Amino acid sequence: MDVSVTRRKVLGGGGSAAGTLLLAGVLVMANYLASRHYLRGDWTRGSVFSLSDKSRAIARELRRDVEVLVVLPRSLDVFGHVEELLQRLGRESRRLAITFIDPEEQVPKAESLAREFSVAKYDLQEGVVIFVAGQGTERRHKVVTQSDLVDVDLREGAGGPDAHVRGFKGEGAFASALLAVSETAQLEVCIVQDHGEAAMDSLELEGMSSFVDALKADNYAVRKVEGLSQGLPKSCRVLLVAGPQRALPKADLEALDRWLEGGGRALLLLGPELDRGLSAWQKNGLEPLLLRHGVRLGDSVVFDPAHTHPTEGPQTFAIKAYGAHPMVRAMKDRLTFWPAARDVHAAPALGLDTSELASTSEDGFGETSLAALRREAEIGFDKATDVKGPVPVAVASEGKTQKWRVVVLGSFLFGANLRLQAPVDYNRDFLLGAVAWLGDRPELVAIGAKAPEHVRLVLDEAQRSKVLWVTVAGVPLACALFGLYVWRRRRA
């Protein structure tokens, strides 16, 4: 027997075993690292399996431990969506403790929770998700019902109403619930309603009820204010003035000036001011005050022909390029629509930080001709009188010493129900980002969740017939012909 050959076999076998062990060790380490530092891709149309920047920020910045009680039947289609969403939130924060209770199998437990958190019997049957944080008198809870989780269309079918789930909106509902239970105090937004401003509780297209609902969802307390001269409540953190129809009296302007100089914060939505006959520009009285605070209001109606809204006419245009200010950093390439807007310019001065937030394209312009606005002349850019693009329509300014902050938008309809109920634009995120910046809540200056639409493929009889022929006959026949072609080439 050849000793050298045997030695080589032994050494070769030992080397193979060592290599196998080394490979196994590498795989174990790779799997461990992957479990701690993994990457996930989401190529769905509506980013169904990705959290929004805002939701991630809320989860990461939780100030208290939050218990999530999912009282939801596993048999429901929505259960999978809820489970997936909570898993994504749980990956962002270790402060979340998630417990699943099936009300069909754990009846006593579910009924006990319903009594503890005052859940209605109907909601319990449909399923709820309960968020709880804190102890004793500081304990807070928020109940999210199934109607908060899904959008449903009721359509008449042959057998009666057909409930059709149009979209899952759980991410926004869960983010709002996390804010509600984890924050110990609410910031207050005061809305001025004394000079013909847009009504905060109006459901009309020009009303502000959608914006108020969005503020409440971000855990702001909202209060109506009448009579600035009487003084603002000390609890007021951000003041909102949206589209005053009458000039503010001197006493109100002085009160607003004092409040700002004391460190106040204000969001103003101020569209172009003209009289009823479009014969003269009007003043709202805020012009001198805003100029001292770094903002200059222009007298023009802004147009951007290359970016006009497809259905709302030339006075509504789109913007998707923004400034470098932290308030709009997250808005990159997101569309916002600006109806009936005026030009608003930064007016830099010593002791101020001013920044233009949003501007039209270079083809945009500010129309100053009243005759053109009355349709007595053609609307178009006149380099002698009009404002040349890009035209700024929003400005942020703050005092370096007094720490006041002001954001001015040149369109009061920017925050109206008409715009905030539109599913495709980001006006809501822009406004909520402004309020968050004014209120020193940087984690909320981010893009929020969009409810993905439930898309169904609906084919008529002719289309179904074409699909049948293509899949049953067309594809097999094409494969057969290709095979015959290859066979003949090889025979040749």
Q: What percent of the chain has pLDDT over 90?
A: 58
Q: So what's the pLDDT on residue 41?
A: 58
Q: Report the distance separating Cα 404 and Cα 276, nearest Å.
A: 35
Least-confidence region, from 140-144, 232-236, 284-288, 409-413: 232-236
Give the CA angle between residues 479, 482, 483 to the nearest 5°.
85
170 and 197 in a single domain? The answer is no
6-59 pLDDT, tens per residue? 555 554 555 667 778 888 888 888 777 766 665 665 555 555 568 889 999 999
Contact 209, 202 (CB under 8 A): yes
* Average pLDDT over every residue of 191-202: 90
The single residue listed with the structure tokens 């290859």 is: 486
The single residue listed with the structure tokens 């109206």 is: 416
Say how many C-beta atoms besides its own lie within 10 A of residue 82's C-beta: 22
252 and 291 in a single domain? The answer is yes
Contact 323, 394 (CB under 8 A): no
In a domain, 466, yes or no: no
Q: So what's the pLDDT on residue 153?
A: 58
Q: So what's the pLDDT on residue 425?
A: 82
- Output phi, psi for 270, to 5 deg: -130, 105
399-457 pLDDT, tens per residue? 999 899 999 999 999 999 989 887 778 999 999 999 999 999 998 998 887 655 554 55
Say which residues have a Cβ less than 8 Å from residue 446's Cβ, sequence separation at least 6: 52, 53, 54, 57, 330, 429, 433
End-to-end C-alpha distance for the chain, whole angstroms: 57
229 and 153 in a single domain? The answer is no
Least-confidence region, from 66-75, 92-101, 209-218, 473-482: 473-482
Q: So what's the pLDDT on residue 411?
A: 96
Of the three residues 175, 207, 224, the one that is the final residue of a domain is 175
* Average pLDDT over every residue of 180-188: 90
The single residue listed with the structure tokens 């050494």 is: 11
Of the three residues 113, 145, 175, the one that is the final residue of a domain is 175
In a domain, 362, yes or no: yes
Quickly state the pLDDT bin for 156 (edges 50, 70, 90).
very low
- Kindly give the pairing relationship between strand 265-269 and strand 405-409: parallel
Q: So what's the pLDDT on residue 230?
A: 84
158 and 205 in a single domain? The answer is no
Count of structural domains, the chain? 2
Domain at 168, CATH number? 3.40.30.10
Q: Report the distance separating Cα 152 and Cα 154, nearest Å.
A: 6
161 and 197 in a single domain? The answer is no
Residues facing residue 238 across a β-bridge: 189, 265
Judged by DSSP in three states, 3 sits in helix
203 and 170 in a single domain? The answer is no
Least-confidence region, from 72-76, 220-224, 230-234: 230-234
Domain at 317, CATH number? 3.40.50.880
pTM of the model: 0.80
282 and 134 in a single domain? The answer is no
164 and 200 in a single domain? The answer is no
Judged by DSSP in three states, 131 sits in strand
* Average pLDDT over every residue of 265-287: 92
Q: What is the mean pLDDT of the chain?
A: 86
The parent domain of residue 283 ranges over 187-444
In a domain, 458, yes or no: no
220 and 171 in a single domain? The answer is no
In a domain, 181, yes or no: no
Q: What percent of the chain has pLDDT over 70?
A: 88
Q: Report the distance separating Cα 30 and Cα 9, nearest Å.
A: 31
Quickly state the pLDDT bin for 363 (edges 50, 70, 90).
very high
pLDDT at 162 over 50: no
DSSP string, 305-348: GGGEETTTEEEEEEE--B-SSGGGGGGTT--EEEES---EEE--
pLDDT at 195 over 70: yes
Least-confidence region, from 64-68, 381-385, 477-481: 477-481
Quickly state the pLDDT bin for 231 (edges 50, 70, 90).
confident
293 and 154 in a single domain? The answer is no
Of the three residues 175, 198, 228, the one that is the final residue of a domain is 175
